[in-house]
């Protein structure tokens, strides 16, 4: 079967690799393959099934959990992609921050730790951190390395081309998968909007922090994702905007919260500022399913596209190759927005 995939971001590439492994003749179209325009290039790579999204949108939980279970084997298949299973420490600075964080810890059934118990696990945390919780199954991966590995697996099958209309590729394929992130809206009319995120990358001596830190400090949310080479990804703002401006307020809030939680980061060099757009939907859950007999959509992964890449690839390949939808996909049909 000839399958055209529109979008060479993490979702399109993951679906392409899976289809190729199952015998399909795959072509991926993207205007700038491996370029910096996709959300994956900015993403921190937290694999956080119990985070905010699951709290706000309960029906996402089974999908997030299923994909999280696939990640250890998936990362092993892809090779060195920065997969790290040290786990996530969720921490809170003030009494108000603790009150807010406790709701999430209770939802995730995580035991609350005192400030000193949290510092036993992560000594670089500020003595002002009051409480925390440890989530052992919330891990991380480096999305840039994942995309590089996926591109490698699709070598020779990625065509540098912006698809203007679905009909433009439909003639060349038996099936079309639309996985164009925020670009999916223009191609399909589906309600996918850009949700802006500003992000920083710092660099210093490796080992200052060992876990992903997901924190709240004086009401400011921040996460710190340490890579083995000394990079620390600091993210991210969440703004209902489509511009690419890096703002003084955005950077200030991220740095202030990061340094409040881990003062030692003040010595790190700032190596990168980036802005990306999460593909959000009206309910902030992905859109997975058929648009018509030949077209399947896999888009709108919002804050969880890296986490959801392995399960999305599997579900899309099932649908394209067998025509049978896994029940897990039902809640994410485009029909819930009156489309298809
Ligand atoms: C600041 C930030 C932090 C994030 N952190 C995390 C995280 O820690 N964990 C996590 O799981 N997720 C995270 N995400 C979310 C994740 O990055 C996205 O959900 C994911 O990248 C979506 O993948 P995608 O392939 O659908 O879209 P993208 O990664 O945006 O890729 C879409 C691709 O489609 C191409 N395209 C667009 N239009 C067309 C067209 N007409 N024709 C051909 N190609 C087209 C684009 O060029 C692009 O390459 C984060 C996102 C941001 C912005």
- Nearest CA to 306 out of 326, 291, 286 is that of 286
Domains of the chain: 2-75+142-192+282-337 (3.50.50.60), 88-135+194-279 (3.30.9.10)
CB 74 within 8 A of CB 146: no
- Nearest CA to 17 out of 145, 139, 151 is that of 151
Protein residue whose Cα sits closest to atom 51 of ligand 1: 43
50 band by pLDDT with thresholds 50, 70 and 90:
confident
Supply 167's token pair: 């009909």
* 120-146 tens-digit pLDDT: 999 999 999 999 999 999 999 999 999
Protein residue whose Cα sits closest to atom 52 of ligand 1: 43
d(CA 140, CA 85): 7
Q: What is the pLDDT of residue 126?
A: 98
Which 3-state string (H, E, C) describes 198-218? Answer: EEEEEECCCCCCCCEEEEEEC
Residue with tokens 């009051």, as numbered in its chain: 130
CA atoms within 13 A on the CB side of 232: 29
Point out which residues pair with 175 in neighbouring strands.
3
d(CA 42, CA 28): 21
Q: Which residues contact 110 (CB under 8 A, 6 or more apart)?
A: 50, 90, 133, 134, 135
Q: What is the pLDDT of residue 118?
A: 98
* 86-112 tens-digit pLDDT: 999 999 999 999 999 999 899 889 999
Q: From the CA of 279, how far away is ligand 1's center (Å)?
A: 7
d(CA 214, CA 138): 10
Supply 230's token pair: 């000394």
Whether the full predicted model's pTM is greater than 0.95, yes or no, is yes
User: Ligand 1 atom closest to Cα of 277?
Assistant: 53
CB 40 within 8 A of CB 305: yes
* 284-313 tens-digit pLDDT: 899 999 999 999 999 999 999 999 999 999
Point out which residues pair with 25 in neighbouring strands.
2
The vertex-138 CA angle with 134 and 140, nearest 5°, equals 125
Q: What is the pLDDT of residue 167?
A: 85
d(CA 162, CA 172): 15
User: Ligand 1 atom closest to Cα of 162?
Assistant: 42
Length of the chain: 340
What's the first-to-final CA gap in the chain, in angstroms?
23
Give the three-class secondary structure for 339: coil
Pocket around ligand 1 at a 6 A CB cut-off: 6-12, 29-32, 37-40, 42-46, 162-163, 179-181, 183, 187, 197, 199, 235-236, 276-279, 299, 301-307
| Sheet strands (E) in 136-206 | 139-140, 158-160, 175-178, 193-203
CB 207 within 8 A of CB 265: no
Q: From the CA of 126, how far away is ligand 1's center (Å)?
A: 33
Protein residue whose Cα sits closest to atom 20 of ligand 1: 305
Question: Please, what is the average pLDDT of the chain?
Answer: 95
- Nearest CA to 97 out of 214, 259, 213, 216 is that of 216
Protein residue whose Cα sits closest to atom 41 of ligand 1: 163
Q: Is the pLDDT of residue 338 over 90?
A: no
- Torsion of Cα atoms, 198 then 204 then 206 then 207, to 10°: -80
Q: From the CA of 132, how far away is ligand 1's center (Å)?
A: 30
- Nearest CA to 264 out of 216, 236, 229, 226 is that of 226
Cβ count within 10 A of residue 148: 16
* 213-222 tens-digit pLDDT: 999 999 999 9
Residue with tokens 């620390």, as numbered in its chain: 232
CB 42 within 8 A of CB 275: yes
CB 5 within 8 A of CB 294: no
């Amino acid at each position: 079967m000839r399958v055209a995939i529109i979008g060479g971001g993490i979702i399109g590439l993951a679906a392409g690799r899976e289809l190729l492994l199952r015998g399909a003749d795959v072509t991926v179209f993207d205007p700038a393959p491996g370029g910096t325009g996709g959300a994956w290039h900015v993403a921190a790579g937290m694999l956080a099934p119990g985070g905010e999204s699951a709290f706000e949108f309960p029906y996402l939980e089974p999908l997030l959990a299923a994909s999280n279970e696939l990640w250890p084997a998936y990362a092993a298949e892809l090779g060195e992609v920065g997969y790290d299973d040290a786990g996530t420490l969720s921490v809170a600075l003030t009494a108000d921050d603790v009150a807010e964080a406790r709701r999430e810890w209770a939802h995730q059934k995580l035991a609350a730790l005192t400030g000193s118990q949290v510092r036993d696990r992560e000594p670089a945390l500020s003595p002002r951190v009051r409480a925390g919780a440890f989530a052992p199954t919330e891990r991380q991966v480096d999305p840039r390395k994942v995309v590089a590995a996926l591109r490698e697996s699709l070598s020779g099958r990625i065509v540098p081309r912006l698809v203007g209309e679905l009909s433009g590729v439909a003639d060349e394929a038996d099936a079309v998968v639309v996985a164009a992130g925020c670009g999916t809206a223009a191609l399909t009319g589906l309600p996918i909007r850009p949700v802006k995120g500003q992000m920083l990358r710092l660099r210093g001596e490796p080992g200052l922090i060992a876990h992903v830190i997901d924190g709240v400090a004086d009401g400011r949310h921040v996460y710190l994702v340490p890579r083995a080479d000394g990079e620390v990804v600091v993210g991210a703002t969440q703004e209902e905007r489509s511009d690419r401006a890096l703002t003084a307020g955005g950077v200030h809030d991220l740095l202030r919260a990061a340094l409040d939680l881990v003062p030692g980061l003040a010595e790190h060099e700032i190596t990168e500022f980036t802005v990306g757009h999460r593909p959000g939907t009206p309910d902030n859950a992905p859109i997975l399913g058929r648009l018509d007999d030949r077209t399947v959509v896999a888009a709108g992964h919002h804050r969880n596209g890296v986490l959801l890449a392995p399960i999305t690839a599997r579900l899309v390949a099932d649908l394209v190759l067998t025509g049978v939808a896994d029940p897990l996909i039902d809640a994410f049909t485009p029909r819930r927005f009156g489309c298809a």
